[in-house]
């Protein structure tokens, strides 16, 4: 084991060890980040000097330099916080009568040596012992909540978040008072890293000679902080921190002068919500697959964890340019993630969240290197393919789900055994949406790796399903892997049905419209939706999409899952094929009556989904909403005028007529932080350019912040009842809160050229993947069977 001298003879003082670890880790991360930013800015500045277009290059260099300065301020702030906490712990030790060793002989002989990297060493030992893993055991990189070092760390961090009672004593006291006070007027509200593994950051746990002696480290920290403080360096950081906290109590600065909304400021609020969510997870449940923000605990879904939250959130962190958090996530993926576990997982969920998340991270880190740049992610450097390697490994395991008699994938796979497993329920049937929402991911992976099997197996599913010739393109929600035939007659656009439709049009767009077969299937389905599922409410004429639980020839149930609210955005995306409505209307030979009607349907459904939020006490939609429709439902083709948007401002409040069209049952009144409505608002705003969609999104975002924020830096949580104030909280943060909901809010408030819709397709978990060209190897390998007719008489006749 590496050792250094311990002149203070502090060995076996867990508090001290923890303090030094925190200081060293924080300082290392800060130093690396500062260096990287500065190097990048310098490189661009040099290029600017040589560049012909020096104006543009110089302004880019200035931008980077500003970013570097901002990161530097943040990083130095973190070092200062850690220094203060560490110093307090040392003071505490000294207060307890702890003596410094001055014995030269001791020092010469190395007595009282302090082990380097104690956390890492302990971990190594644990790894050796820990050969037998039990289901749901705690992974290695999650700290034990009972070990003494952890408790000492807890004290440190608690100390760093407590308001100072008075001036502290000891060598560091005066500086701490000034720095601490300057940096953080209300420390309890500022989230801090707690569970960051020791040595985290590029360079891992390698000891750095300069930093070995804590006296040198402490001295250097003090000198740097002193110099920076004297030059007024902290003033702006202080302002920034205070502004952030002040603004959170809603929301004075989101308007420009003249009463116009400042969308960039509103977008910043979303970044803050993301930071709070991530930091809470990082602090209380790092490495776990589930996060329970109220009890501040985590839980795993597999013996060593699956990275469920880390991987699902990664591209949102990248898009928001939260570099240090991306670095931490990447570190975990590099050091702790393994798919080699004897664990059954859901094929669909693992594909859309984990495979989709990794592929998206790969795409963003290679195609948008300026988003959250990480130095060792550069082309040519080791580790550049980390995300792709992990994706490929996972995909190989998930492919075992497709080993079925029909080619329809099984609901689950055992990752470690490479084994597909039929569902335990539903007679072994798979959900239709689950079987048909894997294609974007596997096809992109085929494109990246050249492995045709990924393409062929996922495409085959579409053929087997379509061979059933579902009337009017509407598919029952279960399908049998053993036969390839549908199971039950239940048809809906909510759970188990939804993303089948979504992936039809997105497959068409993913391959630059080279596969018209999927657009045809989408068009059939949309006509089927109009014919069988769309109707209007009784009092105010809202447009809804109901369900046919007993097949197309039986009754229409006026029920909408929140999940159905992906539909307005997807209809608009299909109508313009990713263009803005203005461009689409101008494009020669493109616009027609059908596209016009589709946009109208998208607008009307969007309004209904917005109404589902307006109806609720918290302003947050329920999981399921029922609607009042006439006993003989009106067909979509009926002459119809949707209500004006101002209907939601009705001064009659709870007695407003429009409210009579909505109904939420108590057991459906939960809100799971779902993304579908803000997802649609994002598409609707991008495509129509109508600001009202942004405004609706802003109202929703405020409701999330007001009613789902958890005290004590816990982030945000789901609600068990969103229809009462205060709401009943549920103590669970879904991974799609950071993966999807916050990402779509961010994109809704962002300029339109960020991830343009003609360049990317978002998978169903909001992970952006690029559009690409099909080639001779990877192209459509099947044709549709001729249709034999349609069924049902539409909403009116069949009800
Ligand atoms: C996410 O996992 C995906 O959006 C999926 O398509 C539906 N369910 C959740 C979000 O509600």
Question: What's the rounded mean pLDDT across residues 27-51?
Answer: 57
pLDDT band at 44 (very low <50, low <70, confident <90, very high): low
pLDDT, tens digit (0-9, with 9 covering 90-100), for 56-96: 555 555 555 555 555 555 555 555 555 555 555 555 554 44
Binding-site residues from annotation for Ca(2+): 764
Over residues 474-487, the pLDDT tens digits come to 999 999 999 999 99
Q: Where are the alpha helices (DSSP H) in 286-438?
A: 308-319, 323-335, 347-349, 356-367, 386-398, 432-435
* pLDDT band (50, 70, 90) for residue 10: very low
3-state per-residue secondary structure call for 644-712:
CHHHHHCCCHHHCHHHHHEECCHHHCCECCCCHHHHHHHHHHHHHCCHHHHHHHHHHHHHHHHHHEECC
Calculate the alpha carbon distances from 372 to 37, 274, 316, 696 in Å. 11, 15, 10, 29
Average confidence (pLDDT) over 526-551 = 98
**Buried/exposed 501-522: b ≥16 CB within 10 Å, e otherwise:** bbbbbbbbbbbeeebebbbebb
> What is the model's pLDDT at position 166?
30
Considering only the C-alpha atoms of the chain, give the largest distance between any 2 of them, rounded to a whole number of Å. 98
Spatial separation of the C-alpha atoms in residues 588 and 609, rounded to whole Å: 33
Whether the predicted pLDDT of 442 surpasses 80: yes
Q: What tokens appear for 135 in the block?
A: 């289901």
Q: Can you tell me the mean pLDDT for 573-593?
A: 98
SS3 string, 413-450, reads EECCCCEEECCCCHHHCEEHHHHCCCHHHHHHHHHHHC
* CA 3 – CA 115 distance, rounded (Å): 5
For the Cβ of 736 lying below 6 angstroms from any atom of ligand 1, the answer is yes
Dihedral angle over CA of 458, 463, 468, 471, nearest 10: 100
Ligand 1 atom at minimal distance to the Cα of residue 766 = 4
Strand segments, DSSP code E, in 246-308 are: 290-292, 297-299
Q: Tell whether ligand 1 has an atom less than 6 A from the beta carbon of residue 351.
A: no
The reported pLDDT for the residue numbered 5 is 41
Q: How far apart are CA 69 and CA 770, in angstroms?
A: 32
* 182 pLDDT higher than 50: no
Q: H/E element holding 507?
A: helix 498-510
My answer on whether omega of the bond before 726 falls inside 30° of 0, hence cis, is: yes
- For 414, phi then psi, to 5°, come to -95, 115
What's the gap in Å between 261 CA and the centre of ligand 1?
30
The answer to which of 37-41, 437-441, 638-642, 736-740 has the lowest mean pLDDT is 37-41
**Which secondary-structure segment (H or E) carries 527?**
helix 516-532
Quickly state the pLDDT bin for 258 (edges 50, 70, 90).
confident
Q: Please check the confidence at residue 214 and state whether its pLDDT lies above 90.
A: no
Torsion of CA 681, 686, 689, 695, to 10 degrees: 30
- Count, in order, helices (H) and strands (E) of the chain: 27, 21
Q: Select from 562, 637, 660 the least CA-distant residue to 797.
A: 637
* pLDDT-based confidence at residue 110 (cuts at 50, 70, 90): very low
The pLDDT mean for the chain works out to 78
Bridge partners of 420? 413
Q: Which pLDDT belongs to residue 327?
A: 96
Contact 459, 415 (CB under 8 A): no
Q: Which residue has a Cα nearest atom 11 of ligand 1?
A: 674
Which of 360, 675, 763 most suits a substitution to test ligand 1, by most atoms within 8 Å of the C-beta? 675
User: How many whole angstroms from its chain centre is CA 415?
Assistant: 23
Q: Percent of the chain, pLDDT > 90?
A: 63
pLDDT band at 32 (very low <50, low <70, confident <90, very high): low
Ligand 1 within 6 A of CB of 764: yes
d(CA 185, CA 633): 60
Mean of the pLDDT values across residues 286-292?
98
pLDDT digits (tens, 9 = 90+) for 649-665: 988 888 999 999 999 99
pLDDT of residue 381: 52
C-alpha closest to that of 515 among 761, 684, 754: 761
Ranking 150-154, 234-238, 412-416 by mean pLDDT, the lowest is: 234-238
Please say whether the beta carbons of 375 and 202 come within 8 A.
Answer: yes
How many CB atoms sit inside 10 A of residue 189's CB? Answer: 15
Select from 313, 350, 352 the residue to mutate for testing ligand 1; criterion: most ligand atoms less than 8 Å from CB: 352
Beta-strand relationship, 412-414 and 662-663: unpaired
- The mean pLDDT value for 319-348 works out to 97
CB distance 675 to ligand 1 below 6 Å: yes
For the segment 326-342, the average pLDDT, to the nearest whole number, is 97
Q: Which two tokens stand for residue 444?
A: 């992109």
Query: What's the gap in Å between 763 CA and the centre of ligand 1?
Result: 10
Residues with a catalytic annotation lie at 349, 498, 623, 676
Atom of ligand 1 nearest to the CA of 433: 6
Does 394 have pLDDT greater than 60? Answer: yes
The pLDDT tens digits of the residues spanning 684-704 come to 999 999 999 999 999 999 999
DSSP 172: T
Instruction: Summarize the chain as % helix, strand, coil (round to 5).
Output: 55, 10, 40
pTM above 0.75, yes or no: no
Ligand 1: distance of its center to the CA of 620 in Å? 17
């Amino acid at each position: 084991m590496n050792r250094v001298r311990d002149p203070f003879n502090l060995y076996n003082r867990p508090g001290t060890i923890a303090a030094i670890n925190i200081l060293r880790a924080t300082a290392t991360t800060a130093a690396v980040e500062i260096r990287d930013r500065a190097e990048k800015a310098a490189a661009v500045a040099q290029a600017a000097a040589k560049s012909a277009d020096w104006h543009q290059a110089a302004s880019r260099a200035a931008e980077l330099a500003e970013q570097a300065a901002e990161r530097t301020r943040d990083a130095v702030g973190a070092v200062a916080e850690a220094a203060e906490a560490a110093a307090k712990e040392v003071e505490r030790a000294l207060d307890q009568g702890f003596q410094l060793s001055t014995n030269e002989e001791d020092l010469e002989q190395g007595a009282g040596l302090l082990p380097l990297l104690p956390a890492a060493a302990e971990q190594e030992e644990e790894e050796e012992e820990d050969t037998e893993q039990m289901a749901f055991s705690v992974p290695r990189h999650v700290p034990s909540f009972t070990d003494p070092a952890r408790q000492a760390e807890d004290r440190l961090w608690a100390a760093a978040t407590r308001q100072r009672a008075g001036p502290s004593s000891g060598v560091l006291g005066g500086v701490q008072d000034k720095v601490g006070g300057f940096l953080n007027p209300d420390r309890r509200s500022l989230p801090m890293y707690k569970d960051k593994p020791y040595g985290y950051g590029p360079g891992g746990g390698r000891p750095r000679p300069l930093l070995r002696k804590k006296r040198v480290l402490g001295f250097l920290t003090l000198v740097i902080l002193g110099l920076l403080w004297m030059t007024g360096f902290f003033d702006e950081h202080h302002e920034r921190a205070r502004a952030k906290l002040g603004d959170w109590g809603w929301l004075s600065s989101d308007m420009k002068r003249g009463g116009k909304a400042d969308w960039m400021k509103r977008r910043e609020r979303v970044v803050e919500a993301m930071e709070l969510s991530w930091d809470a997870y990082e602090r209380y449940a790092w490495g776990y697959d589930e996060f329970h923000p109220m009890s501040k605990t985590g839980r795993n879904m597999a013996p060593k964890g699956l990275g469920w939250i880390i991987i699902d959130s990664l591209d949102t962190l990248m898009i928001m340019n939260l570099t240090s958090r991306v670095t931490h996530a990447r570190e975990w993926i590099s050091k702790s993630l393994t798919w080699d576990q004897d664990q059954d997982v859901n094929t669909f969920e693992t594909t859309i969240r984990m495979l989709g998340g990794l592929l998206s991270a790969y795409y963003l880190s290679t195609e948008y290197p300026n988003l959250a740049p990480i130095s060792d992610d550069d082309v040519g450097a080791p580790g550049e393919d980390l995300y792709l390697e992990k994706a490929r490994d996972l995909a190989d395991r998930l492919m075992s789900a497709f080993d079925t008699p029909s080619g329809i994938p099984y609901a689950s796979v055992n990752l470690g055994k490479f084994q597909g497993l039929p569902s335990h329920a539903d007679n072994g049937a798979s959900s239709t949406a689950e079987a048909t929402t894997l294609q974007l991911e596997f096809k992109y992976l085929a494109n990246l790796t050249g492995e045709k099997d990924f393409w062929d197996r996922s495409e085959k599913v579409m053929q087997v399903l379509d061979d059933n010739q579902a009337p009017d393109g509407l598919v029952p929600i279960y399908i049998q892997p053993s036969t390839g035939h549908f199971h039950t007659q239940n048809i809906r656009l909510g759970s188990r049905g939804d993303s089948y439709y979504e992936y039809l049009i997105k497959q068409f767009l993913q391959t630059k419209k080279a596969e018209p077969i999927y657009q045809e299937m989408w068009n059939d389905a949309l006509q089927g939706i109009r014919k069988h599922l769309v109707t209007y409410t009784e009092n105010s004429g809202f447009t809804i999409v109901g369900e046919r639980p007993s097949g197309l020839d039986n009754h229409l149930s006026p029920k909408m899952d929140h999940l159905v609210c992906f539909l307005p955005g997807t209809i608009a995306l299909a109508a313009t094929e990713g263009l803005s409505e203005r461009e689409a209307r101008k494009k020669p030979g493109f616009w027609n009556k059908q596209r016009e009607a589709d946009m109208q349907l998208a607008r009307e459904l969007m309004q209904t989904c917005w109404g589902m939020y307006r109806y609720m006490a918290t302003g947050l939609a329920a999981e399921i909403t029922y609607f009042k429709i006439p006993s003989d439902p009106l067909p979509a083709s009926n002459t119809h005028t949707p209500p004006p948007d101002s209907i939601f401002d009705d001064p009659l409040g709870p007695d407003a007529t429009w409210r009579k069209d909505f109904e939420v049952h108590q057991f459906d009144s939960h809100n799971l932080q779902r993304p579908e409505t803000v997802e649609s608002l994002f598409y609707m705003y991008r495509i129509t350019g109508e600001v009202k969609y942004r405004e609706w999104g802003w109202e929703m975002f405020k409701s999330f912040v007001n009613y789902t924020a958890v005290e004590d830096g816990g982030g945000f949580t789901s609600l068990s009842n969103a229809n009462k104030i205060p709401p009943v909280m549920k103590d669970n943060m879904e991974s799609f809160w950071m993966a999807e909901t916050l990402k779509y809010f961010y994109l809704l408030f962002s300029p339109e050229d960020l991830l343009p819709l003609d360049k990317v397709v978002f998978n169903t978990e909001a992970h952006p993947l690029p559009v690409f060209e099909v080639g001779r190897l990877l192209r459509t390998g099947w044709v549709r069977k001729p249709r034999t007719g349609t069924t049902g008489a539409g909403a009116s006749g069949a009800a």
